[in-house]
Amino acid sequence: METLIDPFARAISYLRVSVTDRCDFRCTYCMAEHMQFLPKKDLLTLEELDRLCSRFIRLGVGKLRITGGEPLVRKGIMTFFQAMSRHLETGALNELTLTTNGSQLARFAADLAAVGVRRVNVSLDTLDPAKFAAITRWGRLDQVMEGIRAARAAGLRIKINAVALKGFNEDELFTLTDWCAGEGHDLTFIEVMPMGEMGEEMRLDQYWPLKDLRARLAERFTLSDLAERSGGPARYVRINETGQKVGFITPLSHNFCESCNRVRVTCTGELYMCLGQEDMADLRAPLRASADDAPLEQAIRAAIARKPKGHDFDYSRQAVRGQVSRHMSHTGG
Ligand code: SAM
Ligand code: SF4
């Protein structure tokens, strides 16, 4: 079977799937406090998610990341992980992983490890309980810490993702770095992105360019650039003094699109070929129209043929340009 290659000769090998738009947190940069969630009938069922992911895997996707909203609040989600593990067993899938806020990890870590998940990304922007409560609105730091401990006890490798927020976690740069080094967690900083309608002013206020963050890190440590790329917006450095690897996800200030190997599917089955563009293809209709996967595959191929060369986010000239109206919880971060 022919694998998915886009018009710029990029092989599509990485699929990120959002399994719910719901979440038990309300991070200020991600969601409004009173979110209108989608009616259940609009969401792909677990069976539909299985068909969709399995088709992508047949078409050459080797890495599958489950996200949301908060993926671990989706009812029955372990059934889906269990189902996906069959593709790990056949070797068609190399990696099954997830991005989570960690709140439910204490419950699910052992089950995730049992179905073949090896690594999890846990989003954590601060180690201060009061600041954590403020940024997540509804979250509790101790619950996430317990989840992280459970994940480690289950043998999962942990990568901490921290959104860099000016005036919020600037003062925790070294605390976070030291904590991750001490615990053996990888660490990646994410530049805040202009998603949703959060208000232009607030966004520009919060924007802490990672080149500034990196410069701060370099005041204390010697950093060596690593050649390693993930096919995505992350770049890595090694802290020579500790050997620790630190990632930077800078979708706004770096051009990473030439190596882009990924696409995203929302919880309603919309396939987004680029995080920063509005163009998408509806995969729910072909999924529901026929029990046969031919229309689905056709829709996927037609969409990949339209994958754009790159995106246009730009914070320059004090205006948020190229802004897209979706929230991250919709597209799946
Ligand atoms: N709920 C899970 C979590 O928090 O890890 C998965 C979904 S969340 C949308 C995925 C990632 O997107 C998180 O690391 C979160 O910090 C990040 N994120 C959300 N809104 C963002 C924004 N406006 N800019 C940059 N990153 C954002
Ligand atoms: Fe929920 Fe993740 Fe968005 Fe926070 S970043 S509100 S945890 S989906």
Number of the ligand 1 atom closest to the C-alpha atom of 161:
14
Q: Whose CA is nearest to atom 4 of ligand 2?
A: 27
Q: Residue 317: which region, alpha, beta or left (left: phi > 0; alpha: psi -120 to 50)?
A: left
Distance CA 122, CA 245 (A): 16
With beta carbons less than 8 A apart as the criterion, state whether 304 and 4 touch.
yes
The structure tokens listed for 275 are 């995080």
| Ligand 2 site-directed mutation target among 16, 19, 24, 30, most atoms within 8 Å of CB | 30
Q: Tokens for 55?
A: 């088709």
Residue 29 in contact with ligand 1 by CB distance below 6 A: yes
Among all bound ligands, the one having the nearest atom to the CA of 328 is: 1
Relative to the alpha carbon of 126, which ligand is closest? 1
- What are the Cα distances from residue 96, in Å, to 117, 203, 271, 328? 6, 33, 19, 21
Rounded to the nearest whole angstrom, what is the distance from the C-alpha of residue 25 to the centroid of ligand 2? 6
* Angle at CA of residue 63, ends 68 and 182, nearest 5°: 75
Backbone φ and ψ of 140, nearest 5°: -125, 125
Q: Could you identify the atom of ligand 1 that is nearest to the CA of residue 30?
A: 20
CA–centroid distance, 58 to ligand 1, in Å, is 28
Domains of the chain, by residue range, sit at 14-331
Ligand having the closest approach to the CA of 72: 1
Please give the pLDDT value at position 141.
98
The Cα-based distances of 24 to 20, 84, 228, 303, 331 in angstroms read 11, 24, 34, 32, 17
**pLDDT mean by block of 10 residues, the chain; 333 residues:** 91 97 95 92 98 98 98 98 98 98 98 98 98 96 98 98 96 97 96 63 74 96 88 88 92 68 96 87 98 98 92 49 55 58
> Pocket of ligand 1, candidates 26, 30, 252: which has the most ligand atoms within 8 Å of its Cβ, to mutate?
30
**The two structure tokens encoding residue 316:** 């320059």
- CB of 37 within 6 A of ligand 2: the answer is no
State in Å: Cα 23 to ligand 2 middle.
Answer: 6
What DSSP character marks residue 332? -
Nearest bound ligand to the CA of residue 32: 2
User: Which CATH superfamily, name and number, covers 14-331?
Assistant: Aldolase class I (3.20.20.70)
Beta strand 95-100 pairing with 63-67: parallel
In this structure, which residue's CA is closest to atom 1 in ligand 1? 70
Q: How far does the centroid of ligand 1 lie from the alpha carbon of residue 328, in Å?
A: 6
Closest Cα to atom 3 of ligand 2 = 30
Show Cβ contacts of residue 9 under 8 Å, excluding neighbours closer than 6 positions: none
Q: Which two structure tokens, joined as six digits, stand for 31? A: 């969601």
Cβ atoms of 319 and 54 within 8 Å: the answer is no
CB atoms within 10 A of CB 216: 13
What strands lie across the sheet with 95-100, from one edge to the other?
A: 223-226, 234-239, 245-249, 186-191, 157-164, 119-123, 95-100, 63-67, 14-18, 262-265, 270-272, 280-282
How close is the Cα of 58 to the center of ligand 2, in Å? 30
* Model pLDDT, residue 286: 98
Task: Report the pLDDT value the prediction gives residue 260, as an integer from 0 to 100.
Answer: 85
Q: What is the pLDDT of residue 313?
A: 55
Q: How far is CA 310 from the centre of its chain?
A: 18
Taking the centre of ligand 1 as the mean of its atom positions, its distance from the CA of residue 65, in whole angstroms, is: 13
The ligand whose atoms approach the alpha carbon of 163 most closely is: 1
pLDDT of 193 reads: 78
Q: Which atom of ligand 1 is nearest to the CA of 70?
A: 1
Please check whether residue 55 is in contact with residue 87, taking contact to mean a CB–CB distance below 8 angstroms: no
Is the beta carbon of 68 within 6 A of some atom in ligand 2?
yes
Q: Phi/psi at 30 (nearest 5 deg)?
A: -115, -45
| Cβ contacts of 190 within 8 Å, gap of 6 or more | 161, 162, 163, 164, 249
Q: Can you read off the two tokens belonging to residue 191? A: 């530049």
Q: Does ligand 2 have an atom closer than 6 angstroms to the CB of 26? A: yes
- Note if the pTM is more than 0.85: yes
Centre of ligand 1 from the C-alpha of residue 290, in Å: 34
| Residue 98 and residue 71 in contact, taking contact as beta carbons nearer than 8 Å | yes
